[in-house]
Each structure stands twice: as structure tokens, then as C-alpha cells.
Structure 1
């Protein structure tokens, strides 16, 4: 019997402000708590990637994105320490407060706080999946593997 892969598809937002990125500190989820990550989430049934990244931006950080703004900058095939794999589509948007509104921690039950960090100096407790997305974005790499030997 052949086992078919089941890789969730994530959308991750690289919201940039000059040379900084917005990150969220996970808390209370039981997954990667205490680590910084990009605003992100999984595709929902019947949803396309642009709708998903626009939805996640609003749900997680209260930012209003136009569907024409997110630009796909990299794809990351990530495998976590327990061997579960996922595919991440990372989209970049240059932050403009007049268009997007001020980012807020819109999910305090899942997130301790949000903060801007220099893209080349991420916190040491940045989740590896996020770090891989940021590295690929900075290196302009269209595809990277993360967590694979």
C-alpha cells in the first residue's frame, strides 16, 4: 500500500518596513511557543493562496492588504524536528500605515506580542521555518529546503 504525502500548505507574510520585518511571539498554542514567527497560517478548504494571506494578515495582525499587494518571494519545504513536513508560500508586502493600518496583536490568545526586527538580525529564538523564509527572501532564493538532511 502506497502512503500519499499530506503536506499542509502555509502562507507566510514578510511585512517589511525599510530593512525590518514584523514577527509575532507565539504563546499558548502548544506549538513553537516562546519562538518568533512570521504572521502565517494554513490554506483553508477551497481557498487560494492570495485570499489566505490577506485573511491571515487581518486575523493575526489586523493589517488590511489589497489582493494585488502580496508578492510571492519564496517557497519553503520545511520538515520539523518530529519529521512532519509542510510547504510554505512566503509573500512580501512593503508596509504602508496609511493603506494597511497599524499592526496589532489581534490574537493575544496565540501570541504574546508583535515587534519589528532587522531582517539580518533575527532573535535567537526565531522558529527555524521562519528563519528559512527570511533567509530565502534576503538571498532572493525562489525555493529552499528547511529541516531536511
Structure 2
């Protein structure tokens, strides 16, 4: 008598295959092809504020984006980083101050489409930080300034100003404010 093994349910389930870019599933027929997902670029921005409420900004230069404007320490999320790790890293790189990821609080979120891609901008406030804030990347800035919120002007990047003036926890979608 010959015994035959039945395939397990997992072995008989259809495979899910992500097609290579530019193909509709490759050379073989597949079941359950996963369509390309919508992706956004993620940027982090950090509010470093003194006890008097003044906020640290760098004046952008040589970046090709909003050069001449005042900007919070900010940058892009890198592969393998959490958003809090990225925010702490960018604060050190751009402002020369040390912030631990645990010392960051969410302030606001801005979602919008810029010329190059859709973006999700996450704004955090450094509860504690160490060091003397300064423009730490001279190739990307032409100086720095401490600005009190009552003195905000058109020198600030517009969507950063909107995020700073929005209620805490706000989600701004192309200028429309939705509180969490």
C-alpha cells in the first residue's frame, strides 16, 4: 500500500508576487498581484526653543529649495530610522545641539504635494536639548536666528509657519487645518 502526503493548506495557497517595476507580473502567471502602493517622502522638523519662547531657525542657502528663508532644523527620514531618530539626527546636523529621541514631542503634521513628490512633514518640539544652537552646516545655510513667535514674518518657510501657528497636534492638508 502506498501512502501519499496531502499538501498543507499553506502550500496550496496562491502566492503573492510583487511584479518588477515596469511589468505586469513578470513572465509567469500569478494570483493576487500586489499593485504598487502610494508612497510619500517623509521629512522631520524640530522646534528648539529657549525659555523666553524664541525658536531657533537657520537661513537656507545653496540647497535649491526656499533659499533665503528661515527654516527649522529639518531633513529627510533615512532607511532604517524612526521619525524620532531622524529628528534627533537632523537637529544635531543642522543646529549642533543634542536631542534624545525620547525628548521629542509631536507638534503638528503637514501633508501636501510639492513639485517633486507628495510629502508628509512631521513637526516635533525638543523638550530638552544640550549644546549651543548654531548654523552647523555652513554649506546649506548663511546663518541663524532666534525668532519669537510674536515676530514671525514672511522670512519663514510658509508651511513651517502654518505648522507652528496651528493648534498642537494639528494635521494641515494643503493649508486646511484638521485638529486631531
CA distance in 2, matches of 1:78, 1:119: 24
Residues 162 and 175, structure 2, Cα contact 8 Å, conserved in 1: no
SS at match of 1:5: coil
Q: Which runs of 5 or more structure 2 residues have no equivalent in the other structure?
A: 1-23, 25-34
Shift of 1:24: 1.1
Match of 2:64 in 1: 30
SS at match of 1:112: strand
Higher strand share: 1
Flag the structure with larger Rg: 2
The answer to whether residue 155 in structure 2 is matched with residue 125 in structure 1 is: yes
Q: Which runs of 5 or more structure 1 residues have no equivalent in the other structure?
A: none
RMSD: 2.1
SS at match of 1:53: helix
Match of 1:68 in 2: 102
Match of 1:10 among 43, 53, 60: 43
The answer to whether residue 93 in structure 2 is matched with residue 48 in structure 1 is: no
TM (normalized to structure 1)?
Answer: 0.84
TM (normalized to structure 2)?
Answer: 0.71
SS at match of 1:102: coil
CA distance in 1, matches of 2:92, 2:143: 16
Which structure has more RCO (C-alpha within 8 Å, separation ≥ 6)?
A: 1
The answer to whether residue 168 in structure 2 is matched with residue 135 in structure 1 is: no
User: Moved runs in structure 1, 4+ residues, more than 4 A?
Assistant: 1-4
Residues 36 and 123, structure 1, Cα contact 8 Å, conserved in 2: no
